[in-house]
Amino acid sequence: MTTVAIVPAAGLGRRMGADKALLDLGGTTAVERVAAACGDAGIDEVIVVRREGAAPLPPALAARRIVVPAGGEMADSLRAARAALGPAVAKVTVFPVDHALVGAETVLALVALLDRPGCTVAVPEFRGRRGHPVAMARAVFDGIAAPAVTLRDVVRANRPQLRALRSANPWVVADLDEPEDLRSARCALHGEPWSTVAQMFRHRSRRSYRPDPVPAAQLERLVDAARHASTSSLIQAYAVVAVREPAVKDRCARLCSDQQHVRDAPVFLAVCADLHKIALACGRHGASVQAQSLELFLQATVDAALLGQNLQLAAEAEGLGACMIGAARNHPVELAQLLGLPDHAYVVFGMTVGAPADDPVPRGRMPLSGVLHWDRYDAAAAAAALDGADASLRAWAARTNAERGGYRGRPVSATKGWTERMAAAWGADSEYLGARRTLADELRRLGFGLD
């Protein structure tokens, strides 16, 4: 007795704008990924359903059986595949090409469930939602032969015999329908195994990098994802300049407090607030951008910050390290000139990105009670949290000295807490503020009025 996987891949892909079976997913087509998952799960045969006139499948699938349905619905595809089944088939797995990121372990577990007493249908479940592939006993699948019956009808008719397999893979319920789905799938193939929230907790600024270049395609993917951040009134007032040329990076480093990791990183990203495109849009319609507005300046700056945070998180989710460079505001005019920024644009901050070569001790953060307030700001809780912030930073310093021999090659004072460091950094003798004392005037030179 054998098990057959049926791969519906006959859709036109109108919303995707392409044949979904042939979508490139990490150098492999979607249909090849599905066939490979079935093969790794021990499925005896894979039948691919294709529409009349569809493009040929990749050469690696030339030996697979292909059937052509009479209609364009999934039920038509399944009926065509059923007609091709031999009498020895005991189990059938319906594995739509839309779910190409589902792995062999899920297929194997679903088919194994059918061996349990009383189980004739097995479906994966992600956070309470049921998806695909669907494994069925042959007798159950034969119900698709009736006219107007869908796969959902077949599953519902056998609900008492259905067993759900809890899955940690969200792609059991996510279809490849829209271009955004394809971008998400491609990102998932390069991602670390952490959820977004877990990745946030794992953040550390990385200032040492291996010499490996960051591929242009990866940079494009990361910025493409980052630009989907929230944006005020859809102004999208941001831009990113990716600097890879060593000589230009060296000049950027000189303008950013001469930070060596700006030179060492394979790429330096200048994250810009950009009202230039808004000015162009206004000009098209006989209007003048109100760049003197403090509100518009803030909107553009916040937009850039949101994109930048997204960008850093996306980079870390793909195993890269990153460090934001606030010193990009030390010499905003010179940096804008170096990068060829137009009027009404400035670098809000820089970001070094690359494969990390360091492993810094996490600094931790202020106690949550100093950040999260309920209904009204709790000044007493904020004041009390400072003691925790001091203790946390002292503990970080002691651990950094003991485990790493200091921070960036130098011992760290384990007696100074967070409050003492903040007083030194932002009090009357602040070096940070001194380096940027002319920032407002320089921003005006770049086309921002700040009124």
Q: Hey, which bits of 40-86 come out as E strands? A: 45-49, 65-67
- Of residues 300 and 64, the one with the higher pLDDT is 300
Residue 300 and residue 449 in contact, taking contact as beta carbons nearer than 8 Å: no
Q: How many CB atoms lie within 10 A of CB 70?
A: 9
Per-residue pLDDT at 293: 94
What's the confidence (pLDDT) of residue 428? 84
pLDDT on residue 216 = 96
> What pLDDT shows up at residue 70?
87
315: closest CA among 241, 224, 442?
A: 224
Under DSSP, the state recorded for 56 is P
Question: Model confidence over 248-302: pLDDT tens digits?
Answer: 999 999 999 999 999 999 999 999 999 999 999 999 999 999 999 999 999 999 9
Domain with CATH 3.90.550.10 in the chain: 2-172
Beta-strand ranges (E) seen in 190-266 are 238-243
Structure tokens at 260: 């060596």
Question: Is the confidence at residue 16, as pLDDT, over 90?
Answer: yes
Report the 10 Å Cβ neighbour count for 165: 17
Where do the DSSP E strands lie in 115-159?
121-126, 129-130, 134-137
Measured between alpha carbons, how far is 355 from 353 in angstroms, rounded to an integer?
A: 7
Q: What is the average pLDDT across 235-240?
A: 97
Beta bridge partners of 2: 89
pLDDT band at 83; cut points 50, 70, 90:
very high
pLDDT value for 429: 83
Predicted TM-score of the model (pTM): 0.80
Instruction: Express each pLDDT in 370-415 by its tens digit.
Output: 999 999 999 999 999 999 999 999 999 999 999 999 988 899 999 9
Residues in the chain: 451
Kind and range of the H or E run holding 384? helix 379-404
Q: What is the pLDDT of residue 193?
A: 82
284: buried, middle or exposed (CB in 10 Å: 19+, 13-18, 0-12)? exposed
Q: What's the chain's average pLDDT?
A: 94
Alpha helices (H) in 26-175, listed in sequence order: 30-40, 74-83, 104-113, 138-141, 151-157
Class of domain 194-360: alpha beta
Residue 109: the pLDDT is 96
Residues of the chain within CATH 3.40.109.10 domain(s) are 194-360
Residue 1 pLDDT more than 80? no
Mean pLDDT across 420-441: 88
Reply yes or no on domain 2-172 having CATH 3.90.550.10: yes
pLDDT digits (tens, 9 = 90+) for 353-365: 999 999 999 998 9
Task: Tell me the C-alpha distance between 2 and 172, whole Å.
Answer: 24
Terminal CA-to-CA distance of the chain, rounded, Å? 79
Residue type, 355: A
Tens-place pLDDT, residues 115-146: 999 999 999 999 999 999 999 999 999 999 99
pLDDT of residue 436: 87
Handedness of CA 82, 85, 88, 90 (dihedral sign): negative
Distance CA 176, CA 170 (A): 12
Question: What proportion of the chain, given as a percentage, has pLDDT over 70?
Answer: 100
Span 173-219, pLDDT tens digits: 999 999 989 988 998 898 888 888 999 999 999 999 999 999 999 99
What is the number of alpha carbons within 13 Å of residue 355 lying toward its C-beta? 7
Cα–chain-centroid distance for residue 178? 16
How far apart CA 304 and CA 351 sit, in angstroms, is: 12
List of residues 6+ apart from 127 with CB closer than 8 A:
none
| pLDDT computed for residue 191 by the predictor | 86
Q: At what angle do helices 179-190 and 216-226 cross, to 10 degrees?
A: 120
Give the separation between CA 166 and CA 125, rounded to whole angstroms: 5
Whether the per-residue pLDDT at 68 is higher than 90: the answer is yes
One-letter amino acid identity for 282?
A: C
The whole-number pLDDT of residue 12 equals 86
Q: Is pLDDT above 90 for 71?
A: no
As a whole number of angstroms, the distance between CA 259 and CA 253 comes to 5
Beta-bridge partners for 205: none
Amino acid letter, 159: R
